[in-house]
């Protein structure tokens, strides 16, 4: 059972202390054993012979040598067995003293290890207390660790980065739910108003009622498109269940041969084989959304250029269109659900989900998407995916 919040168990601190003390005692025991072995088996030093007395100097008057005091008697030789016994006693005293010193230092190392481990782990306790105060509604808190650039600070900085990503994800989720609710509520409100007006008209004819039903049908179709787009977005965000080899050039050619939204828009295609491993339905949706977005957000008499190419380990799908100018700093906003850049890019048929679905499908296939606003107006969307050979 996990420990209760706010109740320190000290497990890591205790383990560090035990490990530190164990290493100290192991090293100390090895040192004591080494000293004992060296002291017990080292050869005894040889006792040098006693020096002989110097010769007597001659007397100053030449009468002969000056009489010297009698020489001390020679020192008796110490028996070798007595030296060995004394050596054994000294080695035993050294061993006892070393063991006692090691025991005292072991206790001291235990206390010092406990204090040092507590000091080292103190930042972790601060991080733990801060993390416990963080909730889904309070993601703006950060650890903001200070001190030397060590492993603990790196851990705190990494966790702060995780909180940044979580905060952005929660904010995007809340915005998505609010936008999706608004987009779904608008057709419902329109339908309700249309029905109330028809019911409140005492002179309604069969023709006016048919017109009302047509408007309701169109509103229902709009709702259906929103729901299908949301389901596609959710499916692409869940990842891929299976992969097949898909030629983006063939998928793009099929999309170009289908019914177009704006036949007046000129389309130039340069399609080279570009094979990827992925979900055929999602990749087809990616191409269709890019082409539809390029045609929808265009100008009268405008154009669209689409190309596919492949390299050693990646394939590239590029769709460029003329159209209204896109502020460079806001191009990335187009990848968010229901994000539009004003009436010029909204139109009457757009759902605000096209490029967000493209981005989700691209990420699900391990690719990247780049948006580059054109100075003359319009947008270039570049999708890069791993080729089937790289997989």
Query: What are the backbone angles phi and psi of residue 139, rounded to the nearest 5°?
Result: -85, 5
**Strands, sheet with 368-373, edge to edge from the N-terminal-most edge strand:** 266-271, 303-310, 314-321, 379-386, 368-373
Greater pLDDT, 72 or 170: 170
Cβ(309)–Cβ(296) below 8 Å: no
pLDDT tens readout for residues 221-235: 878 877 887 787 777
Separation CA 223–CA 337 (nearest Å): 16
Q: How far is CA 264 from CA 213, 289, 304, 307, in A?
A: 31, 18, 11, 20
pLDDT at residue 369, rounded to an integer: 94
pLDDT at residue 348, rounded to an integer: 47
Q: Could you tell me which residues are beta bridge partners of residue 267? A: 304
Separation CA 369–CA 360 (nearest Å): 10
pLDDT at residue 5, rounded to an integer: 47
pLDDT at residue 317, rounded to an integer: 96
Cβ(292)–Cβ(358) below 8 Å: no
| Average pLDDT value over all residues in the chain | 79
Task: Indicate if the pLDDT at residue 285 is higher than 80.
Answer: yes
Cα-based angle 289, 170, 143 (whole degrees, multiple of 5) = 135
- What domains are defined for the chain? 179-233 (1.10.287), 242-386 (3.30.565.10)
Return the residue matching tokens 């801060």: 130
pLDDT tens readout for residues 311-369: 888 999 999 999 898 888 888 888 887 777 655 444 445 677 888 889 889 988 999 99
pTM score, two decimals? 0.57
Greater pLDDT, 6 or 289: 289
Q: What does DSSP say about strands 314-321 and 379-386: parallel, antiparallel, or unpaired?
A: antiparallel
pLDDT tens readout for residues 157-190: 888 888 888 888 787 777 777 777 777 787 788 8
Cα-based angle 313, 384, 377 (whole degrees, multiple of 5) = 145
Cβ(40)–Cβ(91) below 8 Å: yes
Going by C-beta distance under 8 Å and a sequence separation of 6 or more, which residues neighbour residue 32?
A: 95, 98, 99, 102
Cβ(385)–Cβ(333) below 8 Å: no
């Amino acid at each position: 059972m996990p420990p209760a919040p706010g109740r320190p168990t000290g497990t890591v601190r205790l383990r560090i202390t035990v490990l530190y003390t164990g290493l100290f005692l192991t090293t100390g025991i090895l040192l004591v054993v080494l000293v004992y072995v060296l002291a017990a088996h080292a050869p005894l030093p040889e006792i040098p012979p006693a020096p002989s007395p110097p010769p007597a100097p001659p007397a100053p008057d030449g009468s002969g040598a000056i009489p010297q005091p009698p020489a001390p008697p020679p020192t008796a030789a110490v028996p070798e067995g007595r030296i060995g016994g004394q050596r054994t006693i000294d080695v035993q005293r050294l061993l006892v003293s070393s063991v006692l010193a090691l025991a005292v230092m072991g206790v001291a190392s235990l206390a010092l290890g406990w204090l040092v481990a507590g000091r080292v782990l103190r930042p972790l306790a601060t991080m733990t207390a801060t993390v416990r105060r963080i909730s889904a509604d309070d993601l703006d808190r950060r650890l903001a660790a200070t001190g030397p650039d060590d492993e603990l600070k790196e851990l705190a900085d990494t966790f702060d980065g995780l909180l940044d990503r979580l905060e952005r994800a929660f904010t995007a989720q809340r915005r998505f739910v609010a936008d999706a609710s608004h987009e779904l509520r608008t057709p419902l409100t329109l339908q309700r108003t249309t029905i109330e007006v028809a019911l409140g008209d005492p002179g309604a004819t069969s023709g006016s009622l048919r017109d009302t039903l047509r408007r309701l049908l169109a509103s229902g179709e709009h709702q259906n498109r929103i729901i299908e787009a949301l389901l596609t977005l959710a499916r692409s965000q869940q990842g891929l269940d299976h992969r097949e080899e898909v030629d983006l050039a063939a998928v793009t050619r099929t999309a170009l041969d289908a019914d177009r939204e704006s036949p007046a828009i000129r389309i130039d295609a340069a399609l080279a084989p570009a094979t990827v491993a992925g979900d055929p339905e999602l990749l087809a949706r990616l191409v269709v959304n890019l082409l539809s977005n390029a045609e929808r957000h265009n100008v009268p008499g405008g154009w669209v250029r689409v190309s596919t190419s492949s390299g050693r380990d990646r394939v590239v799908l590029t769709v460029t269109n003329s159209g209204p100018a896109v502020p460079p700093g806001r191009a990335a906003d187009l990848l968010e659900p229901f994000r539009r850049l004003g009436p010029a890019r909204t139109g009457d048929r757009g759902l605000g989900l096209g490029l967000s679905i493209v981005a989700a499908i691209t990420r699900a296939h391990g690719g990247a998407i780049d948006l580059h606003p054109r100075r003359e107006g319009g947008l270039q969307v570049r999708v890069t995916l791993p080729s089937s050979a790289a997989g």
